[in-house]
A = this chain, B = another copy of it.
């Protein structure tokens, strides 16, 4: 229940200074709309580093000045209730921006924790703010990021917080294979699954075990599954 989360040492995760102009993700990333001039105005360099599963990127309530873009991997955003209950409210993956709220001068709203080995770029929110005022493309892209986060959040409510445990697990699996666009997907620890779906770890475990027995999913490696998409969808019609 209580996870030992270690705040990463900057030093050990350090991966160097990024050259955004050469970035392989250049076209899908927030900085897609920047030109040569703009980059020179990112006074502080963009840093690149790696998180291991379980590593904490930042904690809820922390003040900070950095935003992040995910190059690869997977990050969970966790929120806590006063009574200690926790809930995962979103998953972020390649090309997603982490920490948008910093743009508005807020503190971080969630715990951001890596679920897989994750490569990130860090850059100062202040620079994004300034650039966005003059660069219409960046301005537009920012709004699009926010809207995407909002759409994800809404889907989280309707798909992953509604219906029976079986349905929620099925929807989670279908969601994951859709992102991968193949019928394979990699899953999480059962505790994380529970925190995503609003069910207990035991129920998550039982449901997955049940799906395995029924052949709805086939485990090819630890927490790596092939999904029987049509039959999972059939589960949702009833």
Which residues of A are interface residues toward B (Cβ below 8 A)?
A: 77, 79-83, 85, 87, 89-90, 100-101, 103-104, 106, 109-110, 132-133, 136, 139-140, 142-144, 146-147, 149-151, 153-154, 156-159, 161-163, 198, 236-238
Contacts and interface: CB of A to CB of B under 8 A. Distances in A.
Nearest to A152: B153
Contact of A157 (B101, B103, B157): B157
Contacts of A159: 81
A103 B143 contact: yes
B85 A162 contact: yes
Contacts of A106: 147
Contacts of A144: 104
| Chain copies in the assembled complex | 2
A89 B140 CA distance: 25
A92 to B, nearest CB: 13
- Secondary structure dominating the interface of A: helix
A162 B236 contact: no
Given A80-B158, A87-B162, A101-B147, 6 more contacts: A77-B154, A81-B159, A89-B157, A100-B147, A109-B154, A139-B139
10 contacts: A77-B154, A79-B157, A81-B163, A85-B163, A101-B147, A101-B150, A110-B154, A142-B143, A153-B156, A161-B161
A99 to B, nearest CB: 11
Nearest to A100: B147
Residue in A81, A150, A159, A162 with the greatest tally of chain B CB atoms within 10 Å: A150
Contact of A87 (B77, B109, B110, B157): B157
B162 A157 contact: no
Given A81-B159, A83-B237, A143-B103, A150 B151 contact: no
A80 B157 CA distance: 11
